């Protein structure tokens, strides 16, 4: 039996300074910027799953995407929305859990971007996760995931399951597992 993470992401976002949240970035991830600036990903209806404080969502909106940021944490979404409004950006933010209710996210997305989300989904939940991803992507849509490899030395450097300093339990996938998904 896999351990279930018992972490309240709202508490993390309410009480932890952003620079202490391992997955937070003030700027959009370099990988996303390279894909957009290089023309690999063109403006479309896009969802930033696990958006946190919304840096990638806001970047996509600035680049002409119909951008939606989704996170399990209402506190994160509220802060992301306030930042987008302050910047004068038109984008949508929603607090939703893809595993529990993908309908709360919307459908017809041409791009699903997720930064460090898949490793929070334990193997037993991954088939349901992928069903939900398929349900919100339009046919031919692109799913881009940046997640940890089991070869990564982060968070103690050994084993498939590792606990972060904030108490989240993450799963480090093998390349074979990712290809199967």
* pTM of model > 0.85: yes
Closest CA to 84 of 115, 61, 65, 111: 61
Q: pLDDT digits over 70-104, tens only?
A: 998 999 999 999 999 999 999 999 999 888 877 77
**Alpha carbons 117 and 33: distance in angstroms, whole number:** 18
Rounded to the nearest 5 percent, the helix, strand and coil shares of the chain are 35, 20, 40
Q: What pLDDT is recorded for position 103?
A: 72
| pLDDT classification of 4: cutoffs 50, 70, 90 | very low
Return phi, psi of residue 38, to 5°.
-80, -5
Please report, to the nearest 10 degrees, the dihedral formed by the alpha carbons of residues 39, 130, 53, 16 taken in order: -140
């Amino acid at each position: 039996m896999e351990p279930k993470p018992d972490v309240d992401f709202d508490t993390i976002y309410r009480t932890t300074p952003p620079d202490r949240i391992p997955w937070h970035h003030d700027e959009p991830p370099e990988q996303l910027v390279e894909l957009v600036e290089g023309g690999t990903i063109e403006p479309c209806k896009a969802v930033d799953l696990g958006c946190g404080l919304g840096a990638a969502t806001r970047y996509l909106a600035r680049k002409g995407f119909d951008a939606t940021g989704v996170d399990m944490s209402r506190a994160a979404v509220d802060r992301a929305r306030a930042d987008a409004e302050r910047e004068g950006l038109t984008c949508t933010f929603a607090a939703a859990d893809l595993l529990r209710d993908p309908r709360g996210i919307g459908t017809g997305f041409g791009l699903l971007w997720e930064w460090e989300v898949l490793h929070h989904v334990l193997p037993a939940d991954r088939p349901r996760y992928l069903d939900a991803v398929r349900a919100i992507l339009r046919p031919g849509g692109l799913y881009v995931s940046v997640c940890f490899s089991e070869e990564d030395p982060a968070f103690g450097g050994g084993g498939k399951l590792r606990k972060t300093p904030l108490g989240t339990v993450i799963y480090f996938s093998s390349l074979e597992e990712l290809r199967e998904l």
